[in-house]
Amino acid sequence: MDKVRSHEQSKLPATLEQCRRCDLWEHATQAVPGVGPARARIMLVGEQPGDQEDVEGLPFVGPAGALLDKALAEAGVNRAGVYLTNAVKHFKWEPRGKRRLHKTPAQKEIAACHLWLEEELARIQPEVVVALGGTALKSVLQDSGATMKSFMDAPFQHEGRWVVAVYHPSFALRARDEASRRRAYQVIVDGLRQALRLADKVR
């Protein structure tokens, strides 16, 4: 084993909750693991837990989760049948008055946390991965230069499985005007429909 690898190995934590591979744990309530069936055919990957997820210890239970639920229902995808997780498992935030404001994870944090996504991919073996936004896409592809623009047009194959890239639900919530919000939401619904079709096809 070379020096870099043995150093990396020595930092392998026993559990997600004990993970200290980056500093985000220090200001988070807890690590938020993925949830879903042991053999889900579709895995949805978000960015990182938000304020509510950090407190409850579950992914997508806040406002972005509510929009995702709506999109899943519209696409005919059963939320209980998919595996839901995040590229980064601790909430990154900065104080703003009494509120905790979301901060986008840095590349080094995405890379440090990739180990946990790999573990989930190996364990669940989904046929289709839906990357919700740029952070998820970078992590799924392990490519810090990956952009939504280049990958959102059509599903593609990566490491033997389908990947569908769509906007993050928070983007659809926060887009400037109503028309942009509606467009972004529709991209998410269409992507989820596509994921379902692909999962059915591969079966």
Q: Count Cβ atoms below 10 Å from residue 57 Cβ, excluding itself.
A: 15
Within 129-168, the residues that bind ligand URA by CB under 6 A are none
| Binder among 22, 41, 53, 71 for ligand URA (CB under 6 A) | 53
Candidates 61-69, 74-82, 150-158, 171-179: pick the segment binding ligand URA (CB under 6 A).
Answer: 61-69
Q: Residue count at the site for ligand URA (CB under 6 A)?
A: 13
For position 46 contacting ligand URA by CB under 6 A, the verdict is: yes
* Segment near ligand URA (CB under 6 A); pick from 13-21, 47-55, 119-127, 174-182: 47-55
Phi/psi zone of residue 13: left (φ > 0), alpha (ψ -120 to 50 degrees), beta? beta
Contacts to ligand URA from residues 75-104, by CB under 6 A:
86
Binding status of residue 105 toward ligand URA by CB under 6 A: no
Q: Look at phi and psi of residue 136 and say left if phi exceeds 0, alpha if psi is from -120 to 50, else beta.
A: alpha
For 67, counting Cβ atoms within 10 Å of its Cβ (0-12 exposed, 13-18 middle, 19+ buried), the class is: buried
User: Which residue is nearest to ligand URA, using beta carbons?
Assistant: 46
Binding string, 3-22, against ligand URA, x = CB under 6 A? --------------------
Residue 60 interacts with ligand URA (CB under 6 A): yes or no: yes
Decide: is 126 part of the binding site for ligand URA (CB under 6 A).
no
Q: How many CB atoms lie within 10 A of CB 5?
A: 9
Nearer to ligand URA, 139 or 170 (CB): 170
**According to the binding rule CB under 6 A, does residue 62 interact with ligand URA?**
yes
User: Which residues of the chain form contacts with ligand URA (CB under 6 A)?
Assistant: 46-50, 53, 59-60, 62, 64-65, 86, 170
